[in-house]
Structure 1
Amino acid sequence: MSETTGVVVVTYNRADLLERMLAGLGGLDPAPELVVVVDNASTDHTPDVLAACTLPGLRVVRTAENLGGAGGFHLGTRTAYDAGVERIWLMDDDVLPAPDCLGVLLASDEDCLMAVREDSQGRLCEKAATRFDLRNPLAIKPKSRMVETDWGSRAAMPERVELENVAFEGFMVRRGVLERIGLPDPSYFIFYDDVDFAVRARRAGYRIWALRDAVLVRQLDFDQQHDLAGWKGFYMYRNLFAVHLRYGENALVRLKPWLIALAVVVLSPARGGRAEAGNVIRAMRAARGMRRLPPSSVD
């Protein structure tokens, strides 16, 4: 079965990485019919890189302001959907797909797929969760298992691994899924928009598969440690809380954000001080306003 594909790339002030990434897309066989690049109001030479790009099917969407990764993926997915492609492949500007990566994905007749990431040294670094626990109130971090820790290396993986959440960095979805559950939620800004989408997809009955032989290489090392007292810390707390309030499977799990917020405030003198305490208090307030689910259609 032959299906058309649209790649959605979100970028912000990483022109050199983007240039290499677009070159990688140019080496794909088969080639995608559409490449949507959402430029989140970059202030570096990203517009020059995009103007010089001769990639077939390129469509540039430049925003008036930075919508964050979540807003960018919402807009890019909407653009690809409106263009009529049958599969939409989401990725950041810092990855390089192997030439056959798209072909491996398209050969699998599944609605939700994930390419498997490795670092520049060829080591497995796929952090998509194989267990994302929204049932156990004692699980402080709901992601308790991931591909990287389950298997250790790509060679040790089976051909397909079922996932419970994804990253919008190699995730492919059929348009029928969007018609049923809607688009990525832009209100997250950064962090957890991909987790939210995966939870909605799985609750609608879709299974998500990571394909061992669909290789995606990260140009940068993984760094998931962020300053919880800084602006990213606010979004990490807020969005973690929102996922629990929206999808927690029992009252105790939905109570967990309040307990985490209380613990952070109590321990703040020994941790991030007033800044982190302020972040977690504001995050709790804001997360309460995100309890309503996003629209379940693209219309």
Structure 2
Amino acid sequence: MGNNEVCAVVVTYNRKALVENCINGILAQRDAKCDIIVIDNGSTDGTEDLFREKYDLDNIRYFNLGENLGCAAGTSRGIKEAVLANYKYIWVMDDDVIPNEDTLYELLKADEELNGYWGILSSAAYWTDGSICESNRQKKTLFKFMKDDDYNKRFVRVCMVSLASMFIKAKVVKEVGLPLSEYFIYTEDYEFCSRVGKKYPIYVVPASKVTHAMKINRKANLVKDTPDRLYRYKHLYRNDVHCYRKLGLKGHLYLALKFVYTFTMVLLKEKEHKKEKLGALITGYSEGFKFKPSAEKIDSIIIDFPQT
């Protein structure tokens, strides 16, 4: 490890076939190479055997955390390992993301064209049918997502991007701290962007493309989702409240509008699990105003966020 300037970080949990496709895509990069750190949240589907056998390579480090600590904690751990290993750039992606052969090359090319003045670069994520992956559509402003036409541009400055293919400078991580492990799942990417964006611009590089092999091409949707996934929404709304309330008045306005809209949609469209879904929404929001996680810096100094 450490022969390249770039280290890819992939977090996985019981998705052996998907993470195998992801790793194969990273290894197939042309005109740009990287090492790989894999964080396994305690998979029980043979993922560890896959990495001990097929991927027992010099440029791949595999860490099994032994339990499911969540995507947020896994991502934070992976980024920390990469920074401590002295990589210059960290390329984070979900385990169901498959990069094109030139995805990394285009990110490094963008770095040169931008003269290194950026905090995060984000790839364009497409679904398996070739359409834009809706859950990864980047935010230009708090209330405005990128439109399809924006993906024809060279660069688009945005404020928030997902972990589908996030390219970060190690020195930026040292400045702003790691993603919040306590988020467990959802919004850890947006919250991290909110800190980076205060110091450096964030850009989408549409020429850098990945495929996000999600089962369904849609954003998290409380109304359409199944009851067994309601625990995820408690995390989502709790984390949203913590993330956006730090943004002041506009953040509180966003939270209020989102609550009213979601509450109304559940009332109007949910038939069988109305009470449970409204409970997840209300519980998540309530917990969010009491939630006070801290961001770890690489030197172990803790950043305390002002609460509003």
TM-score bracket relative to the smaller structure:
0.7 to 0.9
Cα distance in 2 between the residues matched to 1:253 and 1:198: 19
How far apart, in 1, do the equivalents of 2:240 and 2:12 lie?
23
1:255 CA drift (Å): 7.2
Q: Deviations over 1:81-108 (max 9, x none)?
A: 1111000000011111111211111122
Listed as ranges, the matches of 1:212-251 within 5 Å are 212-220=206-214, 221-227=216-222, 230-249=230-249
Using the alignment, how far apart are the partners of 2:42 and 2:212 within structure 1? 23
Deviates more, 1:28-37 or 1:232-241: 28-37
Indicate the residue corresponding to 1:69 in structure 2.
71
1:165 aligns with 2:160: yes
**Alpha-carbon distance, 1:248 to partner:** 2.9
Equivalent pair of 2:4/2:33 in contact (CA under 8 Å): no
Amino acid in structure 2 at the alignment position of 1:29: R
Q: In 2, Cα distance between the equivalents of 1:209 and 1:262?
A: 29
Q: Is the 8 A contact 1:115 1:216 kept in 2?
A: yes
Aligned counterpart, 2:263: 264
**Structure 1 unaligned regions, length at least 5:** 134-141
Q: Distance in 2 between matches of 1:263 and 1:167?
A: 21
Aligned pairs (5 A) from 1:171-182: 171-182=166-177
* Cα offset, 1:158, TM superposition: 1.0
Hey, what does 1:193 align to over in structure 2?
Answer: 188
Partner deviation per Cα, 1:108-143 (whole Å, 9 max, x = no partner): 23331111112233333363333332xxxxxxxx4x
Q: Deviations over 1:220-244 (max 9, x none)?
A: 3424244465212212221222222
Q: Aligned match of 1:112 in 90, 115, 120?
A: 120
Determine the C-alpha separation between the residues in 1 that align with 2:188 and 2:6.
22
Query: 2:181 is matched by which residue type in structure 1?
Result: P
* 8 Å CA contact retained: 1:261, 1:280: no
Comparing 209-218 with 47-56, greater Cα deviation is found at 47-56
Q: Please report how far the alpha carbon of residue 16 of structure 1 lies from its aligned counterpart in structure 2 after TM superposition.
A: 0.6
Q: CA deviation at 1:247?
A: 2.1
Residue pair 1:5, 1:34 contacting (<8 A) in 2 also: yes
Q: Counterpart in 2 of 1:283?
A: 284
Distance in 1 (alpha carbons) for counterparts of 2:11 and 2:251: 36
> How far 1:31 sits from its partner (Å)?
4.8
Which residue is 1:183 aligned to? Answer: 178
Q: Is the 8 A contact 1:36 1:60 kept in 2?
A: yes
After TM superposition, list the pairs within 5 Å mapping 1:115-126 onto structure 2: 115-125=123-133
SS in 1 for 2:51: helix
C-alpha distance 270-63 of structure 1, shift in aligned 2 (>3 A): same
RMSD: 2.9
Amino acid at match of 2:64: R
Compared with structure 1, are the counterparts of its residues 72 and 252 closer, same or farther at alpha carbon in structure 2 (3 Å cutoff)?
closer
The question of 1:207 aligning with 2:227 is answered no
Tell me, yes or no, if the aligned pair for 1:7 and 1:32 is still in contact at 8 Å. no
Tell me the equivalent position of 1:15.
Answer: 16
Quote the residue 1:151 is aligned against: 149
Contact 2:72 2:181 in 1 (8 A): yes
Q: Aligned pair count?
A: 282
1:132 matches 2:141: yes
Q: Which amino acid aligns with 1:47?
A: E
Q: 2:80 aligns with which of 78, 81, 98?
A: 78
Q: TM-score with structure 1 length normalisation? A: 0.83
Given residue 264 of structure 1, which amino acid in structure 2 is its aligned partner?
F
Q: Note the alpha carbon deviations across 1:19-48, whole angstroms, 9 max, x for none.
A: 111111111124544211001111112112
Q: Assess if the C-alpha contact under 8 Å between 1:164 and 1:198 holds in 2.
A: yes
* 3-state SS of 1:113 partner: strand
1:293, distance to aligned residue in structure 2 (A): 5.2
Name the residue aligned to 1:102.
Answer: 104
In structure 2, C-alpha distance between the alignment counterparts of 1:27 and 1:263, rounded to whole Å: 42
Quick one: distance in 2 between partners of 1:195 and 1:123?
Answer: 22
TM-score, normalisation: structure 2:
0.81
